[in-house]
Structure 1
């Protein structure tokens, strides 16, 4: 996959296996996983398997989560992007989900919004996705604020595996 997106401060690029150490730094932090089921990774092999899964999504669906890298330092600070969901979630199947996850030390700098905004633009204008979806833990105020700032509308809430989520939708008004 040779797609890359750029924002004023970020480069969004496909995952490489060399990103495993940065993903381990991200996903081994319990604070990062507070609203993700509290299951931080414990071995870098889990990150390598995750990267392999994402790279398979590129091949199968032509899209997937991308690395978020700071342009000025080339530091990998997390991931953001689209995922084509083929399993049922909140009575939906075969839909595009937008998501993001950043290292804790980079929270509060607007990077997640900046990356997500680039992906919303790409999803709606380039891919012509009819509706973009997202789900977020009801207590994750930062992420809920980002989705609302992107223009996504909270439609309902649902519980999956004991966790309650808000369900967001953004219809594509340009098609």
Structure 2
């Protein structure tokens, strides 16, 4: 999968094995994992496994989360983009979810919104998707605000048995 999108401040590209240091910085922070229902990483091996899983998604579905690179400094900031879900969630299966995860030092600057808008545009205009979904923990107000800001509609709260947590479900239809 070759992928490259530029926004005003961000480069979105496929995640590579060389992103391991940035991925570890991202996923080893307990604050980043606060609403994810899992523990932060303690080894780079966990990041390597995560990167390989994303690369597998590219191969299987021609889509997966993308690395967010700061346009001016070329720093790895986190990831954003679409993911194809094959497991059932909230009565849906085989759907596209928009998501983002950002290193804490980049929080509060609108990068999630900027990258998510680019992902929606890609999903609707390049992939010709009809619907894109969003999922967030009920307590993750920042993520809730991003999803609303980029045009997703809040649908309902639900309890996910696999994650053992209360989540919020959103969607947006291609206009």
How far apart, CA to CA, are the structure 1 residues paired with 2:81 and 2:38? 22
Aligned residue-pair number: 173
Listed as ranges, the gaps of 5+ residues in structure 2 are none
TM-score (norm 1): 0.97
Listed as ranges, the gaps of 5+ residues in structure 1 are none
User: What are the superposed Cα offsets for residues 65-112 of structure 1, whole Å, 9 maximum, x if unpaired?
Assistant: 010000101100100011000010111000000000000111000001
How far apart, CA to CA, are the structure 2 residues paired with 1:31 and 1:38? 11
Q: 2:27 maps to what in 1?
A: 27
Q: Write out aligned runs for 1:36-55 (5 A).
A: 36-55=36-55
Q: 2:172 maps to what in 1?
A: 170
Q: 1:86 maps to what in 2?
A: 86
Matched, 1:143 2:143: yes
How far apart, CA to CA, are the structure 2 residues paired with 1:67 and 1:20? 11
Answer yes or no: is the 8 Å Cα contact 1:30–1:38 preserved in 2.
Answer: no
Q: What is the RMSD computed on CA atoms of the aligned residues?
A: 0.7
Q: Write out aligned runs for 1:1-175 (5 A).
A: 1-160=1-160, 161-173=163-175
TM-score (norm 2): 0.97
1:37 is paired with a residue whose SS is: coil
How far apart, CA to CA, are the structure 1 residues paired with 2:81 and 2:55? 13
Ranges of 4+ aligned residues in structure 1 off by more than 4 Å = none
